[in-house]
Structure 1
Amino acid sequence: MTVKGCLFDFSGTIFRVEPTARWLRAALSMAGIEATDEEITRYAARLEEVGALPGGAAPKAVPQALARLWGERDIDAERHRAAYVGIARGAELPWPQLYDVLYERHMAPAAWQPYPDTAEVLGALKERGLAVGVLSNIGWDLRPVLRAYGVDGLVDTEVLSFEENVQKPDPRIFRIACDRLGLAPQDVLMVGDSAQHDGGATAIGCAFLQVDHLPADRRPDGLRPVLDLVG
């Protein structure tokens, strides 16, 4: 196939969310709450265990009462917030006012970091004349994050599940994204960290490249194989 355009997942693919302990510290600061280092270590571990950080580790177990909501969390903003706040409550923090603050913090550009090769690869694709899009299962607008790190101008379109009311791996969202690029699916490469979700693009004829969902400092060049595939 001749690749004429690329779609990139957001979290774990071109950007990585901050570590859980830093997320918790930032939320505590936002709420004006003082906590000891020991408390932050302990409760960050609890938040990690329940999978409370969007873009972080997945829950080891989803409570039955939240199972349906969790499975549909990326369809709209209300479900996304309710799912993650509900999951976070399982950490049983001593600061009940913090759950909503934690959710607000994760949407801040400061909570995210681009992978070291994100700008390089997106820029190279644009220079080669390829169409570039971001296709994300998400419950909030990631465009301010792209702007904050100066990569918004390297992206032609953003297709966000909560705006389309459909989430990956549903074929409909991949068709929407290809249409936004103005390309047939067989001319598009989907790049993402999840074979289950991002790999769903193959159902409509897109090619798929999986990258490792690792901290940014442990994946310096995970996107560069894209450039080899597009020629």
Structure 2
Amino acid sequence: MVLPAGIGAVVLDFYGTLVRMVEPLPPDHRGVFARRGLAAEGELWGDQWSVGPAEGEEHTAHSADETAYVTWERDRLRRRARSCGVPEEALDGLVEELDRAMKSLRLALFADVRESLAALRGRGLLVGVCSNWFWDLEDRVAEVGLGDAVDVVVGSARAGARKPHPLIYRAVLDRCGLPADRVLFVGDMWVPDVLGPLAAGMRAVHLRRPDRAVDGIAPPLPEGAARIAGLRELIEGDGAAGRGGSG
């Protein structure tokens, strides 16, 4: 694809766009419960990921600092565990282990990431990451080897809201120092990475990798959006007309 004229920054989602989960996978919550003699309560837990903040949730009151945010995360786990019948004396240890297990994700870059980000930067574009993630997003970006490959990192935990809430996109634009129409947002999730950025005034690119984790038929593209199967398409066929400058 040819990058839209005037673009000065490309901001990318993290999980599913830049990185994927690889083995060993994080511990299943049922094992955590069973080791503590709480197997029956663990069966009532349900989806271990659904306990987190919802898409579009605003939580600025809990994002003042890391301690406040982690306390809020663990309070959610504690309420869920209590509702499953976990006795009060077992809550603290269980919650601590569940919190650690949910964040024990082993991540690896997709093969096209380094080359594509380097090429974007080589064309004078600012490169950013924006993700619904835990407090440690900057650390995880560095851990996978992208610490010196991106200029801006905005995570929902610190921004105080999750995509597609407008607050997180405003934080991205503030960090980029560019008007919305000069920022291109790239991601694999339809609402958080396409419709949300478009509503904020940005351009958007829907990434549909052949080995994507998101199933289903791709929705029709609205005006201002494009679709690619890999990040190399951001740079292939792009010439001077697609360069937006560093602004």
The one-letter amino acid of 1:210's match is H
Residue 85 of structure 1: CA displacement?
Answer: 6.8
Aligned-residue identity in percent: 28
Name the residue aligned to 1:22: 25
Give aligned pairs, total. 199
Q: Is residue 226 from structure 1 mapped to residue 234 from structure 2 by the alignment?
A: yes
Q: Deviations over 1:61-103 (max 9, x none)?
A: xxxxx69x6463875434444446766899999x985553343
The one-letter amino acid of 2:12's match is F
Distance across 2 between alignment mates of 1:202 and 1:178: 13
Give the SS at the match of 1:24.
coil
Q: Is residue 52 from structure 1 mapped to residue 51 from structure 2 by the alignment?
A: no
Superposition RMSD on alpha carbons, in Å? 3.9
| Partner residue of 1:12 out of 13, 16, 27 | 16
**Residue 23 and residue 187 in structure 1: after superposition, are their counterparts in 2 closer, same or farther (change >3 A)?**
same
- Higher Cα Rg, which structure: 2
**Normalising by the residue count of structure 2, what TM-score does the alignment of the two structures yield?**
0.63
Structure 1 contact 8–14 (Cα < 8 Å) conserved: yes
Residue 179 of structure 1: CA displacement?
Answer: 2.3
Distance across 1 between alignment mates of 2:152 and 2:98: 28
Distance across 2 between alignment mates of 1:130 and 1:88: 46
**Residue 160 and residue 172 in structure 1: after superposition, are their counterparts in 2 closer, same or farther (change >3 A)?**
same
Name the residue aligned to 1:63: none
Which structure shows the higher helix fraction? 1
Residue 198 of structure 1: CA displacement?
Answer: 1.9
Name the residue aligned to 2:173: 178
**Normalising by the residue count of structure 1, what TM-score does the alignment of the two structures yield?**
0.67
Unaligned runs of 5+ in 2: 64-68, 214-228, 243-247
Name the residue aligned to 1:145: 140
| Partner residue of 2:190 out of 181, 191, 195 | 195
Give the SS at the match of 1:139.
coil
Give the SS at the match of 2:127.
strand
Aligned pairs (5 A) from 1:103-122: 103-108=99-104, 111-122=106-117
**Residue 223 and residue 126 in structure 1: after superposition, are their counterparts in 2 closer, same or farther (change >3 A)?**
same
Unaligned runs of 5+ in 1: 34-38, 54-58, 60-65, 216-220
